[in-house]
Amino acid sequence: MAEPRRLETILLNLNINMANNAVKQSTLNKARQDKFLLVFDVPPVLRNISSNITDDKRKDRVIPDSVQFSIFGTLVPEITVPAVENRYAGSTLYVTSHSKNSYPPVNVKFVIDNEYSNYWTIYQWLNLLHDEKTGVYNERDIVTSKDFREYQTDLTIHALDEFDNRVMAFKYTKAFPTSINSIEYDYQGGGEIVSGFTFVYSQMHTELINF
């Protein structure tokens, strides 16, 4: 029988290997519990926005510099590089256009936290773009530059495996929201309150993460 200290070391190493997904087994033998995680840095104009709020919202609710959403519904957009018809000798040949179609908007769904902080961040982001009372951009005069990057940011959606390891990253550049979903709640069901938002972006970069 192994000595107690040696046995503890063996068990510790086994737990580390399992956490790192280093256990040799068939993929089909693993329970599929895949998840997605959305991470982004808040645009410069939204950081510490509570100091600029003049309504009766809590003054101590500060939007953080970075936000992390646990999302349960998302869409990785279709990527299309269309072909071009080339007529030759009574036939049609295809060649690539070497151009990519514009990306469609992406909608993500998330669970609202108990202080509505994640919902509040997206709401204030949209309210900056179009004020709910006056209908104008930058109503509170917190944007000091005409640079569009003041209200845009890069969003990254990480695909997680069943061990919570990040295995895939989808980075959406120069993104900003265009809408926020209704708040969905069923009093009879008693489940968590969910919402979501739709955003647009300029490019999407995909990375396969090695861990």
Q: Work out the angle at residue 42's Cα, subtended by the Cα atoms of residues 148 and 40, and round it to the nearest 5 degrees.
A: 110
How many domains is the chain partitioned into structurally?
Answer: 1
Euclidean distance between CA atoms 112 and 203, whole angstroms = 27
- Full domain range(s) for residue 108: 33-208
Q: Which residue has the higher pLDDT, 154 or 133?
A: 154
For the domain that residue 39 is a member of, what is the CATH number? 2.30.110
Mean pLDDT of 167-191: 87
pLDDT, tens digit, 9 for 90 and up, residues 125-134: 998 888 888 8
Euclidean distance between CA atoms 162 and 195, whole angstroms = 24
Closest CA to 193 of 134, 118, 127: 118
pLDDT, tens digit, 9 for 90 and up, residues 132-141: 888 887 766 6
Residues 112 and 195: beta-carbon distance below 8 Å: yes
Whether 22 is covered by a domain: the verdict is no
Residues 198 and 107: beta-carbon distance below 8 Å: yes
Whether 11 is covered by a domain: the verdict is no
What letter would DSSP give residue 119? H
Whether 123 is covered by a domain: the verdict is yes
Residue 195 main-chain phi, psi, to 5 deg: -150, -160
- Strands 91-96 and 106-111, sheet pairing: unpaired
